[in-house]
């Protein structure tokens, strides 16, 4: 059976939108994102909260403004992401900043902006933030990112995106928290200890590991509050809410919030601001990467070898090459006959430039799209192999409301001539 063509997306006609545009480009459903943001905000049911959207997942200003408009704040991991969030209108007290190796300049910007929390990831960073705050004659709001040190096997996700195990570089080990607390107390003239945070991993398709991490964090938060009762304001249980890439996902993002709330209430922490840092779930399902088929390739002597050569490559969408991620491929236009397996590959000179085997029509389609490409798609794109970055099209109410076309190929040549 051949799937019906994926012609309509976000209420718009994809073949028509593609006909006048260079491919590959990412097409964004802003209405879908807005609704996902609102639903997640509503899942707190009135409790003090901050949905700090992880800007690294998709940092297009149009996306960021859409989510901010739906009631989110921002989770940033670099000075430029912080500047972007501020320039898109994020209120400083709705921004948190994580990262294991923040530079002095990045720490300075965060302190100067007065953001809700600088999430420190090591005991050493506490003294660095304090000394920068003294230089700026400001106080810094600081949370400690805790590494809940779960068993690696307990975090059911790809090993490259599991962070909350004890050999990960992220956060302060739960066993080391007393040293972090002592360091915060020592730097009390420059730092307000405002909370604790954790992030166990990404693309979690069940709440179990998230709850386990939250439970460990909550025990630490209770200790933290005893020490810093007057300044503690937040508990940040992190991002990681998974989506259905086609293999199924039994949870919706709000389920993670609804599961953690009772734990916080029971621990006497229900009055604190409950922060979460979702990235993927707010953007991934609402974007497709549109690509033209360049040609087919077959081996007359090995008929089982058949490739569909498309104009999107691993430089445009890195996830399959880096994490063996599967992005469903759908037909936008063309194609005839019964479905058969095609190996869909891009133009980049790497064996890993391979999007996997997909059931597509025997008579090759002309335009296809990779689904669920809104998170860690464009943000991880590169110009490898002299390839221009993909274009971006933003849809709302069934029409294109904004776009950044794919850069002309000559621009890459001009740039490299300068080097």
The total number of residues shown for the chain amounts to 419
CB nearer to ligand LLP: pick between 214 and 360: 214
CB nearer to ligand LLP: pick between 17 and 220: 220
Residue 182 CB, nearest distance to ligand LLP (Å)? 24
Residue 147 CB, nearest distance to ligand LLP (Å)? 11
Rg over CA atoms, the chain: 23
What string marks each residue from 178 to 197 as x (binds ligand LLP by CB under 6 A) or -? --------------------
> Would you state the structure tokens that stand for residue 129, as one six-digit string?
């933030």
CB nearer to ligand LLP: pick between 156 and 161: 161
Q: Which of residues 238-267 bind ligand LLP (CB under 6 A)?
A: 238-241
Residue 335 CB, nearest distance to ligand LLP (Å)? 28
Of 11-19, 233-241, 302-310, 404-412: span binding ligand LLP (CB under 6 A): 233-241
- Residues 142, 118 contacting (CB under 8 angstroms): yes
Q: Which of residues 100-159 bind ligand LLP (CB under 6 A)?
A: none
Nearest residue to ligand LLP by CB is: 279
Q: Which of 161, 249, 252, 267 binds ligand LLP (CB under 6 A)?
A: 161
CB nearer to ligand LLP: pick between 75 and 108: 75
DSSP 47: S
Residue among 88, 249, 281, 349 flagged as catalytic:
349
| Pairing mode, strands 172-173 and 191-197 | unpaired
Residue 108 CB, nearest distance to ligand LLP (Å)? 21
- Tell me the C-alpha to C-alpha distance, in Å, between residue 230 and each of 142, 193, 194, 223: 14, 9, 9, 13
Residues 107-116, buried b or exposed e (16+ Cβ, 10 A)?
bbbbbebebb
SS3 309: strand
CB nearer to ligand LLP: pick between 321 and 364: 321
| Residue 281 falls in the annotated catalytic set | no
Q: Which of 27, 40, 57, 172 binds ligand LLP (CB under 6 A)?
A: 57
Q: Which of 209, 278, 390, 391 binds ligand LLP (CB under 6 A)?
A: 278
- Residues 55, 85 contacting (CB under 8 angstroms): yes
What is d(CA 412, CA 11) in angstroms, rounded to the nearest whole number? 34
Sorted by sequence, the CB contacts under 8 Å of residue 336 that are 6+ apart come out as 361, 362, 363
- Tell me the C-alpha to C-alpha distance, in Å, between residue 202 and each of 163, 258, 267, 323: 8, 18, 26, 12
What string marks each residue from 348 to 387 as x (binds ligand LLP by CB under 6 A) or -? ---------------------------xx-----------
CB nearer to ligand LLP: pick between 12 and 70: 70
* DSSP class per residue in 329-397: EEEEEEEEEEEEEEEEE-SSSSTT-EEEEEEEEEEEEEEEEESS-SSSSGGG---TTT-PPPEEEEEET
What is d(CA 366, CA 67) in angstroms, rounded to the nearest whole number? 33
Of 63-71, 78-86, 255-263, 271-279: span binding ligand LLP (CB under 6 A): 271-279
Beta bridge partners of residue 400, listed in sequence order = 395
Question: Which residue in 53, 39, 126, 56 sits closest to 95, CA to CA?
Answer: 53
CB nearer to ligand LLP: pick between 320 and 361: 320
Contact between 213 and ligand LLP per CB under 6 A: no
Contact between 319 and ligand LLP per CB under 6 A: yes
Contact between 75 and ligand LLP per CB under 6 A: yes
Name the residues that contact ligand LLP, by CB under 6 A. Answer: 54, 57, 75, 98, 161, 163, 199, 202-203, 238-241, 277-280, 319, 323, 375-376
**Which residue numbers are catalytic?**
349
């Amino acid at each position: 059976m051949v799937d019906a063509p994926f012609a309509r997306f976000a209420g718009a006609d994809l073949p028509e939108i593609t006909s006048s545009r260079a491919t590959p480009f990412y097409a964004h459903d802003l209405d879908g994102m807005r609704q996902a943001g609102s639903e997640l905000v509503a899942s707190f049911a009135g409790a003090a909260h901050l949905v700090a959207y992880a800007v690294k997942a998709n940092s297009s200003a149009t996306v960021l403004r859409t989510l901010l408009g739906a009631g989110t704040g921002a989770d940033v991991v670099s000075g430029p992401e912080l500047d972007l969030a501020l320039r898109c209108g994020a209120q400083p007290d709705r921004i948190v900043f994580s990262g294991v190796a923040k530079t002095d300049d990045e720490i300075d910007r965060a302190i100067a902006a007065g953001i809700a929390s600088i999430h420190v990831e090591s005991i050493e960073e506490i003294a660095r933030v304090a000394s920068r705050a003294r230089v700026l004659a400001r106080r810094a709001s600081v949370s400690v990112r805790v590494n809940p040190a779960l068993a690696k096997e307990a975090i059911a996700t790809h090993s490259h995106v599991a962070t909350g195990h004890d050999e990960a570089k992220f956060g302060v080990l739960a066993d080391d928290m007393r040293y972090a607390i002592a360091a915060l107390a020592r730097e009390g003239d420059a730092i307000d200890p405002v909370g604790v945070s954790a992030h166990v991993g990404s693309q979690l398709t069940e709440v179990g590991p998230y709850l386990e991490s939250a439970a460990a964090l909550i025990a630490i938060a209770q200790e933290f509050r005893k020490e810093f009762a007057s300044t503690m304001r937040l508990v940040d249980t992190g991002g990681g809410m998974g989506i259905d890439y086609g293999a199924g996902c039994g949870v919706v993002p709000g389920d993670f919030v609804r599961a953690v709330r009772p734990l916080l209430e029971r621990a006497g922490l229900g009055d604190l601001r409950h922060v979460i840092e979702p990235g993927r779930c707010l953007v991934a399902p609402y974007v497709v990467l549109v690509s033209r088929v360049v040609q087919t390739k077959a081996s007359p002597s090995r008929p089982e070898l058949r490739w569909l050569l498309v104009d999107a490559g691993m430089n445009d969408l890195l996830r399959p090459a880096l994490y063996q991620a599967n992005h469903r491929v759908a037909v936008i236009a063309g194609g005839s006959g019964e479905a058969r397996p095609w190996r869909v590959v891009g133009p980049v000179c790497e064996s890993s430039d391979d999007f996997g085997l997909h059931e597509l029509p025997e008579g090759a389609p002309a335009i296809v799209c990779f689904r669920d490409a809104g998170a860690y798609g464009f943000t991880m794109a590169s110009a490898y192999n002299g390839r221009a970055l993909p274009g971006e099209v933003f849809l709302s109410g069934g029409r294109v409301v904004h776009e950044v076309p794919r850069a002309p190929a000559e621009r890459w040549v001009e740039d490299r001539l300068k080097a």
